[in-house]
Homo-oligomer: A and B are copies of this chain.
């Protein structure tokens, strides 16, 4: 078999075949856009690749810098629009604590409540699924932001 259905939820914190992540996620993005009719235009596709290759949260202006190097645009709305598209379609997430964006490693599994583990040592962010516990009744939740900052295993050891 080619790869597991449910890989290590913290693989972001370990060495792993990252090209694999990139190609898998790009293929998933193509499928998602094809089936929903959304248009994965060149800039949008490239921004997704940049996020995937970066493999860490990137600010909108970091992304814009990359686009500029490649002649794909140098004005803020270029980056913000592409990032907005990716977030709207579940292909990327915004990390509120960091004012940054990260590619979604498994966009086809969406609908789940995503949560993010942010290592303050190495800056790595892992996306995990975490259903919120019961909140009080009488409030209709539409979207959640769940982010946990702390230390990954490797950085915990280094700090000890």
Query: Which residues does chain B contribute within 8 Å of A136, judged by CB atoms?
Result: 9-10, 117, 128
A101 vs B107: C-alpha distance when bound (angstroms): 32
* Cβ-based interface call for A33 (8 A): no
**A interface list, Cβ under 8 A from B:** 9-10, 13, 96-97, 115, 117, 119-120, 126, 128, 130-133, 135-136, 138-153, 156
Query: Which residues does chain B contribute within 8 Å of A126, judged by CB atoms?
Result: 139
A143 vs B149: C-alpha distance when bound (angstroms): 5
A134 to chain B, nearest CB (A): 8
> Quick check: A133 and B135 within 8 Å, CB to CB?
no
Which 5 pairs show the lowest CB-CB distances between chains A and B? A96-B96, A142-B150, A145-B147, A141-B150, A141-B148
Given contacts A96-B97, A145-B96, A146-B145, whether A151 and B139 have CB atoms under 8 Å apart is: yes
A43 vs B24: C-alpha distance when bound (angstroms): 53
> Quick check: B148 and A143 within 8 Å, CB to CB?
yes
> Quick check: A147 and B144 within 8 Å, CB to CB?
yes
Partner of A138, one of B120, B140, B152: B152
Partner of A140, one of B10, B147, B151: B151
> A131-B133, A141-B150 are known contacts; what are 12 more A-B pairs with Cβ within 8 Å?
A9-B136, A117-B141, A119-B139, A132-B133, A132-B146, A135-B148, A139-B148, A140-B151, A142-B149, A143-B149, A145-B145, A145-B147
